[in-house]
Structure 1
Amino acid sequence: MNIPQNTKIRTTLKKGITIPSLIFIIGICMISAIFPKLTNGLLTVVKSFIFVNLNWVYIWAVTIFVIFLVYIMISSYGNIRLGRNDSKPEYSFFSWLSMLFAAGMGIGLMYFSVAEPMQHYSNEIFAYKSPVQRVQNAQLYTFFHWGIHAWAIYGVVGLALAYFSYRYRLPLSLRSCFYPLLKDKIKGKWGNVIDIFALCSTFFGITTTLGFGVVQINSGLVTLNILPETSFIYQVLIVSILVSLAIFSAVSGLDKGVKILSNINIIAVIVLLLFVLVLGPTVYLIGSFTEGIGTYINSFFSLTFNTHVYEENTQTWFYDWTILYWAWWISWSPYVGLFIARISKGRTIREFVAAVLILPTLFNFIWMSVFGNSAIWLDINVADGFLSSMAKDPDGLMFQFLEYLPFTKLVSFLVIGIIIIFFVTSADSGIFVMNSIATKNSRVSPRWQTIGWGVLLAVLALMLLNAGGLAALQSMTLITALPFSVIMLLFIVSLTKALMIDKNYYEKDFSSATVPWSGEHWKERLRQMASFNDQASTEKYIETTVKQAFEELVNEFAVNGIEAKINSNESPQKIEIEIRYDVINNFIYGVKSESKILSDYLLNEENLPGSEENIIYFPKSYFGDTREGYDVKLFTKNELISDVLKHYERFIEIISEEKNTLFISSDSNHRFR
């Protein structure tokens, strides 16, 4: 039998990213599983120190994210498309929103929709408030934690990734978001470090969330008497089945697996929502939702900047809820942001930001109002405090809540089905994202890689579940949020710089030299365009062409009874024509030698004129009223005279209007320096 000599396993994994990431991921998980109490204790100390002493970093970072996205959405930058100017969205609006929503919140909505409002309502630190105030308080803080601030975190990462990937045609990778700042350095070690951080953060976030999801599914199946108990054996079975489905979905691709499951799930979620709304305290829910929106809007800024520094009794709650949530959303943002970016090609920035900030937020508010307020209403009016006594058991609280509604068993099955689909969509999109990071966004990867990520996710999640190490891993995830919040602020700097360049590029008009040009001497003009000027040739142009034009103008002005003079300077080389006035500002038109740095691309491009240095010089016009000038190197003498007269005509027209007195009168006229 002939055995092939080159039996090499095909892979698209990049060693510089994958190997360090796997070493760190497996190492942390092993330590958390072998020494769960010790590891969790140490990480909890670090986390507590950050939350207590550096909570202001999270507050300011998240606030900046919100302000930045709102500004980008309403500004002219919002018209920029995530892709070529003629690109179209790959997915329908409904499918896009379904996938965005499933990846962004998913299991958390099912896990906390009843538990969080109930925990705020029953928390002892709010015992001094009246029952009505506690209900309003519970809804307000739930809105705050699941609203615009959370989605702004995802939106910043998603927007930066989508913009640089589809607009700049860079890899769909976090390293690409630093291109305006690091340029080609993103291809080296710095880029690898950024991607390693993103891969580890994504893995830890998904592992802990899926671990909690498995526990809730197990609890629901026990409530329905399908399983006898919540034990590790049954959790292994649940994880094996669900991760297998996730792997199958991931292998099928976004267009099939994730898209189909997300569409099914959003429909199921709406059905469940309408069921609780119609068969619950409907009028109360609609009224409380309406009032809750108003309270949220009125309290938006005070909530945003509140650090509870003057309320010592609520500071612990603040660290355990608001700061923990901001850290949690930030730690999840590499994964969610990358996935959102992957499905958002072709959308405009305004469409992207509006959809990411407003639509999921509005749905979250409706969802949390219907489930949270229903549970509190039932607790007060029907359950006699039983549900609030269960507040510290979020795994089973949703199913206990459903006991007070009709068709309990049927609806519980629907809830478990939704959690399962959320589990699968979170896992398969997570597998896709991790493989994308590890391969630098390779379009086609062998199936064994996708399967491998799924198996690793399942094995490590089960290992931590069994050993009680999930809490330690969660603390580790929250700690990584601090440095990543700083990285996200740099994303904003980088994105702002890129958007300014982008807008200037597409709005840049023809050169001012084309305005007076009739097409004469076109060969000479082409020769000038195809060469880069050095300092000597620029100074020669000023000394000859510009000076001759100004001298002819001075003579002709004198013929028409206008006194004009020429001012000049040799270092730096510049010359100007000036007409003096006593009451109003002088008219000045000058030309000076300016320099600019050529891009490396231009220097290395064979089909463009060459330049030995990366600095070129050009003659630039300037004016007495400090307006921005322009390159005049292509102007002939007569064209330059025409340009001066054009500006002089503008000057005469302006000074003839009384309304411009404030701008044209001056006690200190410009003097040549």
Structure 2
Amino acid sequence: MIKKNIKHTFSTGVTIPSLIFIIGVCVLSAAFPQLTENLLDSVKGFIFVNLNWIYVWSVTIFVIFLIYLMFSKYGKIRLGKNDSKPEYSFFSWISMLFAAGMGIGLMYFSVAEPIQHYSNEIFQGGHHINRAKNAQLYTFFHWGIHAWAIYGIVGLSLSYFSYRYRLPLSLRSCLYPLLKNKINGKWGNAIDVFALCSTFFGITTTLGFGVVQINSGLKILHLIPETSFGYQIAIVCVLVTISILSAVSGVDKGVRILSNINILTAIALMLFVLFLGPTVYIIGSFTEGLGNYFNNFFNLTFSTHVYEEETLPWFYKWTILYWAWWISWSPYVGLFIAKISKGRTIREFIAAVLILPTIFNFIWMSVFGSSAIWFDKNSVGGALSALAGNPDILMFRFLDNLPLSGFVSVMVIIIIIIFFVTSADSGIYVMNGIATRNAKNSPKWQTVAWGVLLAALALLVLNAGGLNALQSMTLITALPFSIIILLFIVSLVKALVIDMDYYDREFSASTVPWSGEFWKERLRRIVSFNDKTSVDHFIDNTVKSAFEDLKEEFGANGIEVKVNYLENPKRIEIEIQYDVVNNFIYGVKTQSRSVSDYLLTEENLPDYENKNTFYPESYFGDAREGYDVRLFTKNELISDVLKHYERFIEIISEHKNAIFISSDANQKIK
């Protein structure tokens, strides 16, 4: 019997170390939950107390850098070739990045966090109005621009280097300007191992907390009798099965469709609470809270609470924990955002990722959090504050104060389930991408295997009570990755400067402008050169003759040149092939554009027989924008080719441009 090897696309240098570490940590958390939790808590506590300034400064730099980039000249650069177009509609794009980034957390913390801040003893000294304002302010702070800036930096770096530089969609690619081809070795593997482990731990922890909340909600609704481990097994199996099916179907189908459905359902729930809850109070609190957030933006951003020792434990438990949590999730969310963002400009990417989700989060937190605080004071006499230590059921107890609470609670559970599925399926998809170095056509069993491993280890840890230890491990990994993200910024700045210089490079001073020698011929072409036959004739004669002469002369100088003839559209190009750098290409093709209606009836203009006019347009091998060459004579066209060739020689002679022009480098890292 011949044993057949199982086909796979795994990168062993990434997958094997990752699995050893993931399984090892999960087994330790399950076998020795208390010991592991105490050990990891000690490490986490040391980092939060002594190195919290690294998180504060890192997140601050992320925010400042993205805001600068959005308004700078680099904002016009496209994530892909200059003519790239987005693959997804704006609504689908926003829905997917939002659902992957924060979805299930909003359901869990939208009531719990404001109530916990409101009832926290460090805010008890003030009037209830100040406590309510502080609760909203810090909730905005933790779920606002700072959180999305972390995701934005990672997603932007991945998108830029993957689609602009044609590097693999991998975290290692973000350090290419600094490490060059070393990203293919141990350094690159180490970065991807870190990303894979961080993603797995983050999703496993979220799955555990999500299952507990769903279990509690089903018990409150009397759909199940208890919150036992047996029911949690059933919930995990159902959720992961749906996630696997969605991930197998791909981003274009399962992930996109579920994200669209869920964001619409979540908006419907939010509107229900807004209009049937304390509407005037909600709108007023949102308005005032927004102003309060902007007024305190810089104080919050740079605050380390070093002068308020009594608030330090709260600062570590909330702000620093949030920054660590968002950073630990950024490899996964950033990879997924990058996967769906090809074709967007940097300015569009930052504006959408940084601003739109932040505004939605503020509205959402105001609708649920402010309503909960209002009910707690004016309706239930502090009953919600009394449940601050039990966040799993706070959302459902809050809904008891609204009409149709049973129906709405079921709706909330459905939203939580879909939010989890959209996080898990995109997570499974991303994990397989990291483990395979973004290989194409991976067998579906690999996606299934990641889902099964996720479910098995989550249940193992959940049953043993090791979920807190796993969460601590996730937060500890955030410290080294915050440094890595800072290096992403250095790498991105270096690349953007070169990028802008490359595409905006002017012709050399030796370029000779047109003379007036052939003005009569040029005028004749201006008034008559507008039909396809004439353009094709120009390409077949003037362009072809110019390129053939150039080919002969290049050959006389020892340079081999090809002249390529292509159709649909008709075009001719001159190509000089190289082994180390990208080929030099200068071509001319037939293009058309629409003519305004009023020009068709204007007598004192050239005759336009229909709404389309044709012209010959130049194009180049590096996707720079071409231009109309119909007014060029043969010699002027030859001169134009030589101008671009001179520019090409000048650019490839500069070492800093290697990441743009080195075909050998691009081939090695694919």
TM-score of Structure 1 vs Structure 2, range by shorter chain: 0.7 to 0.9
Alignment equivalent of 1:424, drawn from 417, 421, 424: 421
Match status 1:330 vs 2:311: no
Match status 1:303 vs 2:300: yes
Match of 1:398 in 2: 395
Match status 1:22 vs 2:19: yes
Match of 2:440 in 1: 443
1:403-433 per-position Cα deviation (integer Å, ceiling 9, x unaligned)? 1100011000100000000111111001000
1:529 offset after TM fit, Å?
12
Paired AA for residue 339 in structure 1: F
Pair 401,19 (structure 1): closer, same or farther in 2 beyond 3 Å: same
1:444 offset after TM fit, Å?
1.3
1:187 offset after TM fit, Å?
1.1
Which aligned pairs between 1:24-103 and structure 2 lie closer than 5 A?
A: 24-103=21-100
Counterpart-to-counterpart distance in 2, 1:516 and 1:124: 76
Structure 2: runs of 5 or more not aligned: 518-549, 561-652, 665-670
Pair 163,396 (structure 1): closer, same or farther in 2 beyond 3 Å: same
Pair 388,174 (structure 1): closer, same or farther in 2 beyond 3 Å: same
Alignment equivalent of 1:408, drawn from 402, 405, 409: 405
Counterpart-to-counterpart distance in 2, 1:422 and 1:313: 37
* 2:177–2:659 Cα contact (<8 Å) kept: no
Match status 1:261 vs 2:258: yes
Which aligned pairs between 1:157-176 and structure 2 lie closer than 5 A?
A: 157-176=154-173
1:569-609 per-position Cα deviation (integer Å, ceiling 9, x unaligned)? xxxxxxxxxxxxxxxxxxxxxxxxxx965877999989xxx
1:525 offset after TM fit, Å?
11
Match of 2:456 in 1: 459
Paired AA for residue 289 in structure 2: G
Pair 79,529 (structure 1): closer, same or farther in 2 beyond 3 Å: farther
Paired AA for residue 60 in structure 2: T
Paired AA for residue 339 in structure 2: R
Match of 1:612 in 2: none
1:6-35 per-position Cα deviation (integer Å, ceiling 9, x unaligned)? 612110111110000000000000001101
* 2:118–2:131 Cα contact (<8 Å) kept: yes
Match status 1:13 vs 2:10: yes
After alignment, is 88-97 or 506-515 more displaced?
A: 506-515
Counterpart-to-counterpart distance in 2, 1:217 and 1:388: 21
Paired AA for residue 303 in structure 2: N
Counterpart-to-counterpart distance in 2, 1:467 and 1:170: 42
Counterpart-to-counterpart distance in 2, 1:251 and 1:453: 11
Match of 1:319 in 2: 316
Counterpart-to-counterpart distance in 2, 1:112 and 1:514: 63
1:250-294 per-position Cα deviation (integer Å, ceiling 9, x unaligned)? 111111101110011001000000000000000010000000000
Counterpart-to-counterpart distance in 2, 1:94 and 1:512: 47
Pair 250,605 (structure 1): closer, same or farther in 2 beyond 3 Å: closer
Match status 1:384 vs 2:381: yes
SS of the aligned residue for 2:23 comes to helix
1:188 offset after TM fit, Å?
1.3
1:534-566 per-position Cα deviation (integer Å, ceiling 9, x unaligned)? xxxxxxxxxxxxxxxxxxxxxxxxxxxxxxxxx
Moved over 2 A (4+): 515-519, 522-531, 595-606
1:172-228 per-position Cα deviation (integer Å, ceiling 9, x unaligned)? 000000011111111111111110000000000110011100000000000100011
* 2:115–2:135 Cα contact (<8 Å) kept: yes
Which aligned pairs between 1:472-551 and structure 2 lie closer than 5 A?
A: 472-515=469-512
Counterpart-to-counterpart distance in 2, 1:146 and 1:371: 14
Counterpart-to-counterpart distance in 1, 2:312 and 2:655: 53
SS of the aligned residue for 2:91 comes to helix
Structure 1: runs of 5 or more not aligned: 532-594, 607-673
SS of the aligned residue for 1:113 comes to helix
Match status 1:129 vs 2:135: no
Paired AA for residue 310 in structure 1: Y
Pair 255,309 (structure 1): closer, same or farther in 2 beyond 3 Å: same
Counterpart-to-counterpart distance in 1, 2:134 and 2:655: 57
Match of 2:285 in 1: 288
Greater gyration radius = 1
1:514 offset after TM fit, Å?
1.6
Counterpart-to-counterpart distance in 2, 1:530 and 1:73: 44
1:513 offset after TM fit, Å?
1.9
Match of 2:225 in 1: 228
SS of the aligned residue for 1:512 comes to coil
Pair 604,393 (structure 1): closer, same or farther in 2 beyond 3 Å: closer
Paired AA for residue 293 in structure 1: L
Match of 1:374 in 2: 371
Counterpart-to-counterpart distance in 1, 2:260 and 2:662: 49
SS of the aligned residue for 1:11 comes to coil
Match of 2:634 in 1: none
Match of 1:537 in 2: none
SS of the aligned residue for 2:477 comes to helix
Alignment equivalent of 1:105, drawn from 95, 102, 106: 102
Counterpart-to-counterpart distance in 2, 1:525 and 1:452: 57
Paired AA for residue 64 in structure 1: I
* TM-score between the two structures when normalised by the length of structure 2: 0.78
Counterpart-to-counterpart distance in 1, 2:375 and 2:293: 23
Match of 1:343 in 2: 340
Pair 601,174 (structure 1): closer, same or farther in 2 beyond 3 Å: closer
Identity %: 72
Counterpart-to-counterpart distance in 1, 2:304 and 2:660: 50
Match status 1:119 vs 2:113: no
SS of the aligned residue for 1:333 comes to helix
Aligned residues, how many?
539
Alignment equivalent of 2:187, drawn from 171, 178, 190: 190
Counterpart-to-counterpart distance in 2, 1:13 and 1:193: 15
Pair 527,507 (structure 1): closer, same or farther in 2 beyond 3 Å: farther
Counterpart-to-counterpart distance in 1, 2:113 and 2:656: 56
Match of 2:535 in 1: none
Alignment equivalent of 2:151, drawn from 154, 160, 179: 154
1:443 offset after TM fit, Å?
2.2
Match status 1:273 vs 2:270: yes
* 2:148–2:358 Cα contact (<8 Å) kept: yes
Pair 141,600 (structure 1): closer, same or farther in 2 beyond 3 Å: closer
Paired AA for residue 356 in structure 2: L
1:126-168 per-position Cα deviation (integer Å, ceiling 9, x unaligned)? 1111110000000000000000000000000000000001111
* TM-score between the two structures when normalised by the length of structure 1: 0.78
Counterpart-to-counterpart distance in 2, 1:46 and 1:314: 21
